[in-house]
Structures are given as C-alpha cells and as structure tokens.
Amino acid sequence: MAAPPGEPRRVAYLYLLPAFAVYAVFLLYPIGRAVQISLYDWDGLSLGTWAGLDNYVAVVADEGLRAAFAHALVLIVFYAAGPLVIGLALAAILNHAKVRGLGFFRTVVFLPQVIAMVVVAVAWRRVYAPDGSLNSLLGALGLDSLTRGWLGDYTFALPAVGVVGTWFETGLVTVLLLAGMSRIPASLYEAARLDGAGAVREFFAVTLPSVRAEIAVALTLTVIAALRTFDLVYVTTRGGPGDSTSVPSYEVYHRAFGLGQVGSAAAIGVTLTVVIFVLSFGINRFADRRLT
C-alpha cells in the first residue's frame, strides 16, 4: 500500500459501479436508444426503416416544428424572466421590510409549486374561459371590449399559457432568492447606508450581486421548466388555436403516441435535450464567471 491515504485507488471504482450501473440502465441506455430510434422512420409497431438524419432535417425544415421551438423560447420569457423580475422585487421587499409572519408569506408565494401542474392547468382553463373569472372581472371593470375566449385567441393564447407559468414559477424563484438574501451580512447594508445609499441603490449595489448564485439556480430551473412545458399545453390548448401554442414536448408526445411517428418524436426529443443542455450549461458558465 504505497499510496497515501485519501489517494484514489482503483478499487474505489468498484464502489461507483452499482450507481453507475443504475445510471446506465435507466439513463444512458434510454438516451442511446432514443438517439438510435431518432435515426429511423418507425411507427412504433412494425420494423423501422433507416432514415439517417431525415428526422433532424425535418425538425429544422418543418415550419410547424420550428414554430414549436420558437414558442418554447417565448415561454422562457414568461417562465424565467418574468418570475425573476417579480421574484427579485418580492424577495427584496420581504427581506428588507422584515415583514412579520414572513413564514406565512413565504408559504403563500410558494404554494403554486406544491400543486400538480395538471390541476393548475384545469383551474386556469376555467379562469380563461369565455364566461370565466377573468372576463367577469374585466366586465365588472367596464372593460367589456377586452373580453374574449383567451385560450382560443390567436394573439393571446401563448401569452395566456405563459402567464400561468409566471404564476407557477414566481414562488419558487422568490423563495430561492429570499434564502440567498437572508445570508447577506447586515454589515454590508450598514456600510452602504453610511455611504448614503438609498433603498434602490442598496438593492443594486449589495443585494443583487450577493444573490448571483441563487439567480443562476433559479434561471436554470425555470428555463428548463419552460423548455419542457408539456402538461400545461396538453391540458389547456392541445397546441391550439391552429398551432399557435404547440411546443416541442407536446409534439414529442403527440407524434409518438397519437400519430405513431416515433422516429420523428425521438428526433424532437433529442434536439430538445441538446437545446436544454446548451442553455443550462450557458447559464451556469455565465454565473460561474461572474462569481469568480
């Protein structure tokens, strides 16, 4: 035993093996299989025929599929950017004002996260219905001209779906940021105040830089959530009206189980995985660099 204690030894890999085996069986194998299927033209039943990169070419060439990816990018604004702005404001206020019963407010903002997305979607479907509560509210405010079937409106369907995402993700982001802010030493604020900084200045000079890591985590989580949106679209609009709210994950499901185009579905899934990987990698690289 020449190696000093703590030095990695070959035998250590044996300890990794069980975990790796599980990882391989449940993750690497399915990924490899998905990549393989994406290279075939397969209906899920009979023998598949080799299609090469045709399915991937279709992802780029098919106008409808391009639109689906574009919709997912729009949803990032609602799922990630919106909650981040609102969450920063909310957390700053809650943290700064030292609100009484902070735990209660924290629970309230976090509550949407606890509810299953399908339930959320069913509830919002009612809110957006032509005779739903949103239209009733507008009517009561004398804004009858604005009422419409929100999820069936070509201009408003995608934003309407997005707003549900904002509502859903804001709580998570707020709680994350709140945790980050509570770690900021009070001395930093005192120093800032001595330098004559107001609340706004204080926020940008002290609070914001201190929670950069939390922002990165929040963005990673919400961007991924935006890109893999499925249940919300499936329950509220099924991609409609027309194709104005279709998203990649819905297309994966729809093609694989509805239309029997499993190869095409796998290609979309693999593409989506790559997009998600690149984006979350980018976010984390960005956050890392700014931290050091």
Partner 1 sequence: MTPHKRQPHEAGAPALTGRRRLGALMAAGVVAVCTAVFAAACAPGSSAPPPSSPRASATAVRTDAAALGNVTLTVWDQEVRGGQAAQMEKLNAAFQAKYPNIKLNRVSRSFDDLNTTLRLALSGNKPPDVVEANNGRSAMGAFVKAGQLRPLDAYAEAYGWKERYPESVLRYSRYSADGKLFGEGNLYGLPQVGEVVGLFYNAARLKALGLEPPETWAEFEAALDKAKTAGEVPLQFGNLDKWPAVHVFGTVQGRSVPPDQIGTLAFGRKGASWNTPENVRAAEQLASWVGKGYFAKGFNGQGYDAAWQAFGKGQGVFLIAGTWLLADLQKALGADLGFMLPPGATAGAAPVATGGTGLPFAITAKSPHPDAAAAYIDFITDAEAMKVLTETGNLPVADTAAQTVAEGPQKDVFTAFGTVTGKDGLVPYLDYATPTFADTLGAALQDLLAGKAAPREFLATLEKDYKTFAESNG
Interface residues toward partner 1, by CB under 8 A = 2-3, 7-11, 13, 16, 20, 24, 28-29, 32-33, 36-37, 40, 42-50, 125, 128-131, 135, 147-154, 157, 236-243, 254, 257-260, 262-263
Q: What six digits make up the tokens of 217?
A: 């985590």
- Return the number of the residue (28 or 199) whose C-beta is nearest partner 1: 28
Query: Which residues are paired to 40 by β-bridges?
Result: 50
Residue 80 amino acid letter: A
Q: How far is the CB of 266 from partner 1 (least distance, A)?
A: 9
Q: How far is the CB of 20 from partner 1 (least distance, A)?
A: 6
Cβ-based neighbour number of residue 175 at 10 Å: 21
Q: What six digits make up the tokens of 128?
A: 């957006």
Q: How far is the CB of 246 from partner 1 (least distance, A)?
A: 9
- Return the number of the residue (14 or 200) whose C-beta is nearest partner 1: 14
Q: How far is the CB of 163 from partner 1 (least distance, A)?
A: 14
Side-chain-side CA neighbours of 16 within 13 Å: the count stands at 8
Say if CB 112 and CB 138 are below 8 A apart.
no
- Return the number of the residue (157 or 272) whose C-beta is nearest partner 1: 157
- Return the number of the residue (159 or 240) whose C-beta is nearest partner 1: 240
Q: How far is the CB of 268 from partner 1 (least distance, A)?
A: 15
- Return the number of the residue (5 or 8) whose C-beta is nearest partner 1: 8
Residue 42 CB contacts under 8 Å (≥ 6 apart), including other chains = 48, 49, 262, 263
Q: Which own/partner pairs from 14-20 qualify as long-range (CB within 8 Å, at least 24 positions apart)?
A: none
Rounded to 5 degrees, what are φ and ψ at 261? Answer: -110, 75
